[in-house]
Structure 1
């Protein structure tokens, strides 16, 4: 496996580069978001994953503005929420997000979930494609889509809808098998992001993590992040605690063995969050 660092990148179908690990801000209160993102940037993170639903785009924007880094050095993501699905609502959401984050562009905008029906989903995609052409966003993609939603979008793009699915984001960890979705994406060159890669902390006491971690002098969280990286996922660990932010970044000096990875192939399907992938609409 090639040696990576916190600043290593994947090449997106859009032609842009995305850092191989990101800093998630889900459920970080708006009042503490700026401080947490500043700490992450200080540690070396160059990828911040936000969303309209998180209510903390302003804090992310302030952290970027008050850092000593150039805007071009930081990869910033937001997401279109279920309440803004459809062409016109998505256009308004993009405009407001640019204003709230005080940025001229986002590096990535995702549709947060496949709710609202086909017309709304494709309308939102059309708005993203227009925003991309206008330079308001560099890369676009989806989150929480099932394979049937992805195929619907792929057909739309092939039939003139425009754009490309550069990134897909799902809850992914050893106790949530989404291999049908991730295989679909990897076969098409779509970068797969793993949100909640630590399963919201619900699995950190698993004996298998302690056993593997002891071999490498690493924590259960670091083992889970490393698992994600070795499967070709882009993990988005979240924390507002400085020591844990640093720990989550310290995952490039060891490699899980084939046996370790096999032990973590649980085959379980246990989401710790919502699971819109199974929505049939």
Structure 2
């Protein structure tokens, strides 16, 4: 079993750099998929209220037989619960669904700048953190302007910013901003929903190294310092995505993949994404 490196967050909490994502995994498939990931060696599981599978993630953690302290669990606040009292209630609901005493990381899922004041939401997040039931708190899909408002109004600096990152959206400026302020960057949609896997640059590197395009792309993330959590319900693919630590990309390979950037999103633009509940 390959050893997954950890990254130390700004409050001293250790987070495995490779995790298992549960976005778009139906609830009825989530327990078994998560158990397969844990059996493979993953110790970092990412879920959210919006995914509607927190209960099944918690069940898998309990059924795995692995000590709770060895598994890093992340969840995220639903978009309809940004008012401080709503956020606190939603966090209680998440904890009840997971059936765990604490969550390792809890995130504001989207800033929703036109829906409400996310700085007030952040104050509720800080309360969750002080309670000890969230070992670390952070944000997801926050841009520089959103983060600056958090810095100006809050006490706790977010530990993590989970954003869309892949070779077609390298996010170099935002990642550098995160690093400058001690915020770890997590990459969602790390293979651009599969779009990058047929790119000639990536397939060429994969063929030369005897690896799959997905492994090459995920290894690019790892060497850049991203925290990444690919998702799959296929055990073979779950295992394949875990085999990232017995090879390296050269500086030339890294530069060739980074040069693929098109500033092309697969998901919404956080500056304009403002769904109402």
TM over 0.5: yes
Q: In the alignment, what sits opposite 2:270?
A: 276
**Mapped partners of 2:225, 2:271: distance in 1:** 20
The verdict on how the C-alpha distance between 1:277 and 1:213 changes in structure 2, with shifts beyond 3 A counting, is farther
Residue 116 (structure 1) shift: 4.7
**Mapped partners of 1:245, 1:112: distance in 2:** 25
Structure 2 contact 167–196 (Cα < 8 Å) conserved: no
Other structure's SS at 2:80 match: helix
Select the residue among 209, 221, 224 that pairs with 1:216.
Answer: 209
**C-alpha offsets along residues 199-252 of structure 1, whole Å, 9 cap, x if unaligned?**
111221111111000121110000110111111101110101000000000011
Structure 1 contact 6–21 (Cα < 8 Å) conserved: no
Q: In the alignment, what sits opposite 2:174?
A: 181
The verdict on how the C-alpha distance between 1:190 and 1:14 changes in structure 2, with shifts beyond 3 A counting, is same
What does 1:1-281 align with in structure 2 at a 5 Å threshold? 5-117=2-114, 120-157=117-154, 162-265=155-258, 266-277=260-271
Other structure's SS at 1:48 match: strand
The verdict on how the C-alpha distance between 1:45 and 1:142 changes in structure 2, with shifts beyond 3 A counting, is same
**Mapped partners of 1:174, 1:97: distance in 2:** 33
Other structure's SS at 1:142 match: strand
**Mapped partners of 1:172, 1:111: distance in 2:** 18
**C-alpha offsets along residues 138-190 of structure 1, whole Å, 9 cap, x if unaligned?**
00000001110011111112xxxx22210110110110131121110011221
Query: Please, which runs of 5 or more residues in structure 2 have no aligned partner?
Result: none
**Mapped partners of 1:225, 1:57: distance in 2:** 25
- Root-mean-square deviation over aligned CA pairs: 1.6
Residue 41 (structure 1) shift: 0.3
Other structure's SS at 2:7 match: strand
**Mapped partners of 1:86, 1:179: distance in 2:** 32
**Mapped partners of 1:218, 1:206: distance in 2:** 14
Find runs of 4+ consecutive structure 1 residues off by over 6 angstroms: none
**Mapped partners of 1:136, 1:252: distance in 2:** 32
